Structure 1
Amino acid sequence: MRTLVIGDIHGGYKALIQVLERAKVTSEDKLIFLGDYVDGWSESAETIQKLINLSISNTCVFIRGNHDLWCGLWLDKGATNPVWLAHGGKETIDSYIQSGLLTSDAHKQFFKDLQNYYIDSENRLFVHAGFTSMHGVGKEEYESNYYWDRTLWEAALLADKVAEKTLEDILTSPKRFNHYKEIYIGHTPTTNYKQDSPIKAYNLWNIDTGAAFTGKLTILDIDTKEFWQSDALPSLYPDEKGRN
């Protein structure tokens, strides 16, 4: 059985189907999704339906992203806000209306059941954005940090530049990272750093390869580090702008 981690999808249903096929995903594979399933491209409702179907055939873990929080509040309570609508929310609303899935109880429950983070049996952490507590996740932490924080990623980039060759280096290494064997995140597109493939910094892997914008959707095998990608999302949705 493989354990595969999947980056931010942002309503790119075609990319999800494509990358699942390219990775030759079977029912034996465990799938860990890092959040932001909606907002961006035109098939958010279809994406959620596919994830629900996968949860029946596969062992799946679904992490909550900031966009999922917004969408879940809208589906459950009809709540919207200008920031969400301007960052893909309008496209998600249109998708739900056009797909006929607006009143689906299964979809509402999907968003309610999302996890803020997941730690596997080998002490590998999966979280959408990050955390700030020096004690690790679940301790002295604002819940919103799990799907909004970017300081963890920024700290990983800085720590990666420091070679731990002395006792002083080891003692001053970022303590947040020492709690976990590896950390997997999304939220901050690697395309911001002119890369459309996963980036490893320190013991952290960023799997958000810009599917919301001009990049691709990525699946990575956490044991072998082999990865598979969809085509760039604009080529799959040539008549749309995504979140460009």
Structure 2
Amino acid sequence: MPTPAVALRLRRFRRRFGIAAPKLVVRSHFPWLWFALPALLFVVTAGVIGGLIARSGDVGMLGREDDGLRKQILAQREELNILRSTAGTGQNAVSIERASQQQLLGRIQWLEAQNAALKEDILLFERLVPVVGDGAAVRVESFRVVQRAPGRFTYRMLLAFQPDKLTPDFRGRLQLAISFAQSGKSVQLVLPDKRETFAGFEIELKRFLRREGEFELPESATLLGVEARILQGDALKSKLSAQL
């Protein structure tokens, strides 16, 4: 015969598994990872969406800032072009002004030389006396040489002729004997240097003749002296050294 304690346990067992036993609910079991993964995915998705929204706002702000910088660069570039154009115009104006001043100065010097030569001619005409002697004679009354530019020189001379009954005029040619120094050496140049160029040095006068011309030397040369010679055929009729 079972003891009271054993009988009590039997009754409880019957109640749990018998007709009077409580209803049993069967539920499906899901691992906890199945719940953790969707939650994690939701959090990540929300973070990405939030980041995209924030980045979209930053991109819009950067775009506006970039547009502002571009406009500022364009404005500064236009201002720089204006300043460059103004500076170029100013430099051109200064260069033109300097060139004009140099040309004007050269023109003034040339006019002063011409004025001095004309005054000298007037004085020569005033004091000019007939050549002593019975025969016709020609002479160089004045001879001046002026440097116009490096290596370029102009000359000016006044010739006088005393005619007689047999020789009413004079025909001959002009010759220039030019002495200059170059590279430590003394050099002499005679113009015209060729017979073919004699035509440009022929002279013809009855009483007076003013003759002007120019000649060139190497820019490194130093002019020492110039002598004007009046020739008739190969005979020397008159000569005079120039005033430099």
TM range (shorter): under 0.3
As a proportion of its length, which structure holds more helix?
Answer: 2
Larger radius of gyration: 2
As a proportion of its length, which structure holds more strand?
Answer: 2
TM-score (norm 2): 0.21
TM-score (norm 1): 0.21
